């Protein structure tokens, strides 16, 4: 039987792609698994160099030199073992592979078997480990496929160099069923029972067990064996492959342990925690989530949680979720507030936040989310708003009472009209500012609103352009807003009595701009009014700007009595 003919059972039964080469690296045969893995039909590649068929162009020179060394007659067998390389399929897709070489046949005319393993899955397992919140580290080492043959009765016969190299057993030790002595004592009896059953039925043998390696280390192996049949259908021999899966099993165990640790940690959390699949269905719900819903955690898997959302909130939650999942840059974190049906039959307000899980390869793996019950917080906020509204109402009534007292106390027949009107006007200016702050729950006010409220009594509806107001959208705190309202009122009062607003052609420009991260400057400029002279004595408004408002405004105002019009510069503290 020629070398190629003798290799046919190996080519047909090997788990991984196998290529047969001569000493120059020219392909002599190509297994069906290789056809499937790389897309090349056997007839298309016979006689071609392996490097030309599988090596990416950028690696061909280096791979050709490596292959030449590996196939050299003087190269020891150990040096022909695993090499991790890149291969390119017929469709142009590159995949990582691991290659082991073995000589076969007579020493003067050997052929070489290349056992090729696609290690994409191993890399993906590694990436999954790295993406599991760094719960554990794992490296899946190179694995060998060790070939062996048994006779039709299931006994190991003849020279088995692969098995000897793997286990360290001598031919005398592994002959017959002696190979079972290398199997872990806890696995040996089961292995023999399942093996004998497969031999009896002639069916394929797929199994896993622990095997003692030549160095005494126990390793996990996956075994696949298939019967080679004679023309009459009887079993001629068995061809088997032992594949080391120790690292894969360890990685899977670490992944299970990591997931178990995560689940234990999540179950200890006092708030609902969940994980989703790529498609969006829940794959894990912690005990707090189950307790909240009043059901078993298993009942929350999939899309069951959606039925817990209040009907009025479902659309909003769905929109946020869809927008986050469909973002152009990939799935994004998102959050929402919604009412969820609790196990007691009542709806409770929940604040939920979810973040995408992205593995080491940048692939989206689903979401991890957590929710907090904010029902009591919302109830407290509602009570607070009620109290603030009541306080605002009472303060406004108090201001109205003060105005009424002033009107009745400063009677026209006892108090100069000018004094009475100025006092009432100033109280009204404060009241207007109070109205603006009330609308904002006393959390500050828009600068534009304060200015417009302050000048409103002095603007003619028939000629609103006389007062020009401009500036960016800025906000000031409550104390700054009240002081600014008084300042604008005093400037407008002075302009109406003596300045630009006292004549039809006069104009006032009010503008502001940022002057730092938390500062702004407002400028009041009058034009077209009567000639301006510096007053001989300071009135109430001037004294108020000079001494009374600097602290609350955030700086010292500057008032200039230029001949062509009054100009005021007010520094403002933003809030």
**Model pLDDT for residues 28-47, shown as the tens digit of each residue:** 998 899 899 899 998 999 99
- At residue 533, the pLDDT reads 86
Task: List strand residue ranges (DSSP E) for 270-309, in order.
Answer: 273-276, 282-285
**Model pLDDT for residues 166-220, shown as the tens digit of each residue:** 999 999 999 999 999 999 999 999 999 999 999 998 888 999 999 999 999 999 9
* Residue 195 in tokens: 């093996």
Does the pTM of the predicted model rise above 0.85? no
Same fold for the domain at 3-118 and the one at 145-244? yes
Radius of gyration (C-alpha) of the chain in whole angstroms: 43
**Model pLDDT for residues 355-371, shown as the tens digit of each residue:** 998 887 788 988 988 88
The CATH code of domain 435-573 reads: 3.30.565.10
CA nearest neighbour of 300 among 311, 286, 317, 310: 286
**What 3 state SS string does 229-258 have?**
ECCCCCEEEEEEEEEECHHHHHHHHHHHHH
CATH superfamily of 145-244: PAS domain (3.30.450.20)
Q: How far is CA 64 from CA 71, 74, 94, 104, 261, in A?
A: 11, 17, 18, 21, 47
- The class of domain 3-118 in CATH terms is alpha beta
Task: List strand residue ranges (DSSP E) for 407-549, in order.
Answer: 445-446, 467-470, 475-476, 507-514, 519-527
Name the percent of the chain lying above pLDDT 90: 28
Least confident range from 252-256, 294-298, 328-332, 480-484: namely 252-256
Does residue 433 carry a pLDDT above 70?
A: no
What mean pLDDT comes out for the span 128-132? 62
167 within 8 A of 174, measured Cβ to Cβ: yes
CATH architecture assignment, domain 269-373:
2-Layer Sandwich (3.30)
**Model pLDDT for residues 343-355, shown as the tens digit of each residue:** 888 999 989 999 9
What mean pLDDT comes out for the span 55-82? 74
Question: In this predicted model, which residue has the larger pLDDT, 451 or 122?
Answer: 451
Give the dihedral of Cα atoms 409, 414, 416, 418; nearest 10 deg. Answer: 30
Residue spans of the domains in the chain: they are: 3-118, 145-244, 269-373, 435-573
**Model pLDDT for residues 516-530, shown as the tens digit of each residue:** 888 999 999 999 999
* Residue 327 in tokens: 């973002």
Beta pairing, strands 467-470 & 507-514: parallel
Average pLDDT, the chain: 82
What mean pLDDT comes out for the span 132-137? 42
């Amino acid at each position: 039987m020629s070398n190629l003919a003798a290799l046919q059972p190996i080519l047909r039964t090997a788990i991984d792609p196998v290529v047969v080469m001569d000493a120059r690296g020219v392909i002599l045969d190509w297994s069906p698994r290789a056809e499937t893995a790389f897309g090349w039909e056997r007839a298309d590649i016979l006689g071609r160099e392996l490097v030309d068929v599988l090596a990416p162009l950028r690696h061909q020179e280096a791979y050709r030199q490596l292959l030449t060394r590996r196939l050299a007659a003087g190269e020891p067998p150990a040096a022909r073992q695993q090499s991790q390389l890149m291969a390119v399929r017929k469709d142009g897709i590159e995949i990582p592979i691991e290659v082991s070489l073995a000589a076969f046949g007579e020493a003067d005319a050997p052929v070489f078997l290349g056992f090729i393993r696609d290690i994409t899955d191993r890399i993906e397992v590694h990436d999954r480990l790295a993406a599991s919140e760094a719960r554990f580290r794992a490296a899946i080492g190179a694995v060998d496929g060790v070939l062996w043959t048994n006779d039709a009765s299931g006994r190991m016969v003849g020279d088995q160099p692969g098995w000897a190299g793997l286990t360290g057993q001598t031919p005398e030790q592994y002959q017959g069923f002696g190979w079972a002595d290398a199997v872990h004592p806890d696995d040996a009896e089961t292995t023999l029972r399942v093996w004998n059953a497969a031999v009896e039925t002639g069916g394929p043998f797929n199994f896993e067990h622990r095997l003692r390696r030549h160095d005494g280390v126990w390793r996990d192996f996956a075994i696949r064996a298939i019967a080679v049949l004679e023309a009459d259908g009887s079993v001629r021999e068995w061809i088997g492959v032992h594949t080391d899966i120790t690292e894969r099993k360890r990685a899977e165990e670490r992944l299970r342990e990591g997931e178990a640790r995560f689940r234990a940690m999540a179950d200890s959390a006092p708030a609902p925690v969940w994980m989703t699949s790529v498609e969006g269905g829940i794959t894990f719900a912690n005990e707090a989530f189950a307790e909240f819903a009043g059901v078993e955690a298993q009942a929350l898997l999939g899309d069951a949680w959606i039925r817990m959302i209040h009907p009025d909130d479902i659309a909003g939650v769905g929109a946020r979720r869809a927008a986050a999942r469909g973002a152009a840059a990939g799935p994004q974190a998102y959050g929402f507030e919604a009412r969820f049906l609790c196990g007691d039959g009542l709806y409770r307000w929940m604040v939920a936040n979810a973040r995408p899980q992205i593995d080491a390869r940048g692939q989206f793996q689903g979401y991890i989310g957590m929710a907090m019950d904010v029902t009591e917080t919302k109830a407290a906020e509602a009570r607070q708003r009620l109290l603030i509204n009541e306080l605002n109402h009472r303060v406004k009534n108090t201001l109205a009472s003060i105005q009424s007292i002033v009107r009745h106390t400063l009677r026209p027949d006892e108090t100069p009209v000018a004094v009475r009107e100025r006092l009432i006007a100033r109280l009204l200016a404060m009241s207007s500012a109070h109205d603006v702050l009330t609308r904002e729950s006393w959390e500050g006010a828009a600068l534009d609103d304060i200015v417009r409220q302050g000048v409103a009594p002095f603007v003619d509806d028939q000629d609103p352009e006389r007062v020009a107001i401009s500036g960016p959208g800025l906000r000031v705190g409550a104390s700054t807003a009240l002081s600014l309202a008084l300042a604008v009122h005093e400037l407008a009062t002075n302009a109406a009595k003596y300045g630009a607003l006292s004549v039809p052609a006069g104009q006032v420009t009010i503008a502001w701009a940022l002057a730092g991260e938390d500062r702004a400057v407002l400028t009041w400029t009058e034009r077209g009014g009567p000639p301006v002279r510096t007053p001989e004595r300071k009135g109430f408004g001037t004294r108020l700007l000079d001494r009374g408002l600097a602290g609350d405004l955030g700086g010292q105002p500057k008032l200039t009595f230029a001949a062509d019009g009054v100009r005021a510069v007010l520094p403002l503290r933003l809030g």
